[in-house]
Chains A and B, each alone.
Chain A
Amino acid sequence: MRLARLALLTALVTSVSVFAVTAATAGAGRAGGTTTITFWHAYAENASAPEMQRLTKIVIPRFEKLNPGIKVEQVPFSYSSLQQKLTTSVAGGTLPDVIRADLAWVPQYAKLGAFAKLDQAMPDFQKLAKAVYPGSLATNYYKGHYYGLPLDTNTRVLMYNKDALASAGITSPPTTFDALRAAAPKLKAKGIYLFADGGTGGWNVLPWIWSGGGSLTNKTFTRATGYLNSAKSVAAVQLLVDLYKEGAIPSLITGDAGATGTEDGLATGKYATILDGPWMFPIFRKAYPNFKLQTALVPKGPGGSVSVVGGEDIVMSQSSKKKAAAEQFIRFMLSPWTQTEMAHAGQMPVRADVSKQLTKINSYFGIFAQQLKVARPRTPSPNWPQIDTVLGKAVASAIQGNESTKAALDDAARQIDQLLAG
């Protein structure tokens, strides 16, 4: 029995020491003559994608030429695995120096203390901040500090299938809420859905709520009650509810994984309109070369035509040992030259001075630049993923008819109040 206990003890002690050794080796830094900074991003996993080509063949080589002694090691991830990787790296203390992060992630990780306060770290932060769109810059803000700078931006506009509309006798895209309501029965008679979307989260429904004159929270992002459940917000969501009930919106919107996706539906004429971003152009060109994609501004409601700001921010990890080199790289990525370079690969610049020549680079950038003038960011909050889920469930529940729109949004506003406080 004693031996048994001894064996057990030995086993435990050995396992603990093995653990300590691995932990120690993981913590040791690398030595080298030149400074190598690591850059994680999710531009594209495929090395032949245009973003990757520009980044690895043109942008990074030029940076290394201009900054002798600094090497950039870029690591591409898929979008979802990058977030997962960030989480495990925060826990393991192994974050890279620079990260291109989805703007919705920044407050979440800033709260954890994973990202450096760029407004304190970079002496020329104000100069850079002034050069970019304020709506994009705002996504980097958390509790009194900016944890990053915008890197690229985008927004959603109305994309439509001209032939699908024409088959129902509609010659111009619906530009207002009323035009949408009027078009619904005509399209339904032809077996075409008026509008399709893949969810009911903030990215999906905020353009409707804002264009309807409503909002998710107050201006300081501290309260949702009185805003998300205001008469105007409720009326905007009610538009989606009514259209769904009429059979003008497919069940894809409530998260039916078996429904036809927006791009397939639009290109094949099953769906007449969708809301989506500039990345869809290359996707359509590849999958449906014969389909001619048309765009228009988000349909106007009582609040105008307001869309949602998307895009990525560039941040520096708090744990980086090479902050000076990392800052240099961030500066370079925000320079007019780099922003123009990446625009050729479909990345919309965040610098106002570059955006003037956007349509020369890519003709379809024009509509997005126009929509961006009246686009707003989602609520910057570390609890955004939860807020997004609460909002999504409430709208989906109203759409499915489980409860009235007002009741669903009342309840969601209450829950979001708590999440905003937390």
Chain B
Amino acid sequence: MSATIQTGALGRSADAPRPRALLFDRRRRRNAYAAYLFLAPGFLLFALVILYPIARAFQISLYEWSIVPGATSRFLGLENYDRALHDPVFWRSLGNTGFYMAVTVPTQIVLGLAAAVLLDARMPARGLFRALYYLPVITSWVVVSLLFRYLFMTDGGLVNWVLHDGLHVIDHNVQWLGSRWTAMTAISVLGIWKGVGWSMVIFLAALQGVPRELYEAAAVDGAGSWRSFRGITLPTLLPVVAFVTVMLVIGGFNVFISVFLITNGGPLDQTQVLLTYMYRQAFSFLDFGYGSALSFTLTLIVFALSLAQLRIFARRGAA
């Protein structure tokens, strides 16, 4: 919020040429110069590893691209994008990516917030529990993906064993990874398990910033814990919820390793997500033009979604 006010003031100062303001303006420019200088290394890195690849990916997406240096590539214009719009597997991967996001993002926020509030209270072994919840975040995606694949095996998998032999809630072993929605569910469960710790830590940090006096005042006024949570904790945490949401949505759209290692898009491309499908086109079929068109489309979607979310949260005075 404060950043928006400042830029607004800077824009207005130009059409008010009073002597004091001019002096102020010059100093401000010198400050700006220093700021740009300090920003330069970061920007350079950003340009090199983000901007350049994005521009390059867009260029490649317009061609039937040959990866050999010096070879000529055939210009296709927007044909690769048109192909994506008519590709049923592209739409299915978009749907699967959307499903993954819709399932994992809200769950991670709710569970993360719940864990944070619980572990913010004074209790024995608090540090231990915090570490335990955070542990999945720092484990390798590769290791836990393989682990989940074994957990969800049809015969001999722990999940089926518990449901069938342990709890007797199913009468035959479920083929979790054998069809679209059950496999996507298994992959989403992994995403949630692995991500809750991250949102918990962010919320925990934010909770430290909530003034204790507010709770005390609320308690004096007779508010219960749920009332305090709704009236104090939640509103104060709203900007953090916004941040976590934006980050999780971006992360959700970029789901790759777990799908790649658990189902690799199978069976019959039923569980392809945007990135695994892009990867197959580019690195298995060496169709880098189409692969780039897919990844550029993904970039546009994520960009538009992030922008929309920031707008929504800004309007509600949260960002």
Give the number of chain B interface residues (Cβ < 8 Å). Answer: 40
CB pair B177–A254 under 8 Å, yes or no, is no
Residues in chain B near residue A19, CB distance under 8 A: 48, 52
CB pair A256–B44 under 8 Å, yes or no, is no
CB pair A15–B67 under 8 Å, yes or no, is no
Known contacts A11-B40, A11-B44; is-contact A90 B68 (Cβ 8 Å): yes
CB pair A254–B178 under 8 Å, yes or no, is yes
Residue of B33, B152, B268 touching A254 (CB-CB under 8 A): B268
Q: Which of B183, B263, B284 has the most CB of A within 10 A?
A: B284
**Residue of chain A at shortest CB distance from B150:** A258
CB pair A260–B154 under 8 Å, yes or no, is yes
**Residue of chain A at shortest CB distance from B269:** A393
CB pair A254–B67 under 8 Å, yes or no, is no
- B194 is an interface residue with CB less than 8 A from chain A: no
Q: Considering the complex, which residues of chain A in the window 225-265 have a beta carbon less than 8 Å from any beta carbon of chain B?
A: 251, 254-260
Q: Which residues of B are interface residues toward A (Cβ below 8 A)?
A: 29, 32-33, 36-37, 39-40, 43-44, 47-48, 52, 66-69, 71, 149, 152-157, 175-178, 183, 262-264, 266-269, 283-286
For the side of the interface on A, what is the size category? 35 or more
- A415 is an interface residue with CB less than 8 A from chain B: no
Residues in chain A near residue B284, CB distance under 8 A: 385
User: Contacts A10-B40, A256-B266 given; 10 further ones with Cβ under 8 A?
Assistant: A7-B33, A15-B44, A83-B283, A90-B67, A256-B177, A257-B178, A257-B263, A258-B149, A260-B154, A385-B285
Residues in chain B near residue A93, CB distance under 8 A: 69
Expressed in whole angstroms, the Cα–Cα distance for A113 and B66 within the complex equals 10
CB pair B69–A256 under 8 Å, yes or no, is no
- A407 is an interface residue with CB less than 8 A from chain B: no
CB pair A397–B268 under 8 Å, yes or no, is yes
Residues in chain B near residue A84, CB distance under 8 A: 283
Residues in chain B near residue A421, CB distance under 8 A: none
Expressed in whole angstroms, the Cα–Cα distance for A135 and B201 within the complex equals 60
Residue of A14, A260, A397 touching B153 (CB-CB under 8 A): A260
Expressed in whole angstroms, the Cα–Cα distance for A393 and B177 within the complex equals 17
CB pair B175–A259 under 8 Å, yes or no, is yes
**Residue of chain A at shortest CB distance from B178:** A256
Expressed in whole angstroms, the Cα–Cα distance for A251 and B179 within the complex equals 10
Expressed in whole angstroms, the Cα–Cα distance for A385 and B287 within the complex equals 11
Residues in chain B near residue A222, CB distance under 8 A: none
Smallest CB–CB gap between A94 and chain B, Å?
Answer: 10
Q: Considering the complex, which residues of chain A in the window 5-33 have a beta carbon less than 8 Å from any beta carbon of chain B?
A: 7-8, 10-12, 14-15, 18-19
- A400 is an interface residue with CB less than 8 A from chain B: yes
Expressed in whole angstroms, the Cα–Cα distance for A3 and B30 within the complex equals 9
Expressed in whole angstroms, the Cα–Cα distance for A114 and B153 within the complex equals 41
Expressed in whole angstroms, the Cα–Cα distance for A254 and B32 within the complex equals 61
CB pair B47–A255 under 8 Å, yes or no, is no
Residues in chain B near residue A90, CB distance under 8 A: 67-68
- A386 is an interface residue with CB less than 8 A from chain B: yes
CB pair B152–A258 under 8 Å, yes or no, is yes
Smallest CB–CB gap between A242 and chain B, Å?
Answer: 19
Residue of A11, A92, A113, A383 touching B71 (CB-CB under 8 A): A113
Known contacts A258-B154, A260-B154; is-contact A400 B37 (Cβ 8 Å): no
Residue of A4, A18, A393, A397 touching B32 (CB-CB under 8 A): A4
Known contacts A7-B40, A91-B68; is-contact A255 B157 (Cβ 8 Å): no
- A404 is an interface residue with CB less than 8 A from chain B: no
CB pair A108–B69 under 8 Å, yes or no, is no
Smallest CB–CB gap between B174 and chain A, Å?
Answer: 9
CB pair B153–A112 under 8 Å, yes or no, is no
Expressed in whole angstroms, the Cα–Cα distance for A255 and B33 within the complex equals 59
CB pair B36–A7 under 8 Å, yes or no, is yes
CB pair B40–A91 under 8 Å, yes or no, is no
Q: Which of B152, B155, B157, B183 has the most CB of A within 10 A?
A: B155
- A418 is an interface residue with CB less than 8 A from chain B: no
**Residue of chain B at shortest CB distance from A199:** B266
Expressed in whole angstroms, the Cα–Cα distance for A5 and B284 within the complex equals 42
CB pair B285–A251 under 8 Å, yes or no, is no
CB pair A3–B29 under 8 Å, yes or no, is yes
Expressed in whole angstroms, the Cα–Cα distance for A14 and B267 within the complex equals 48
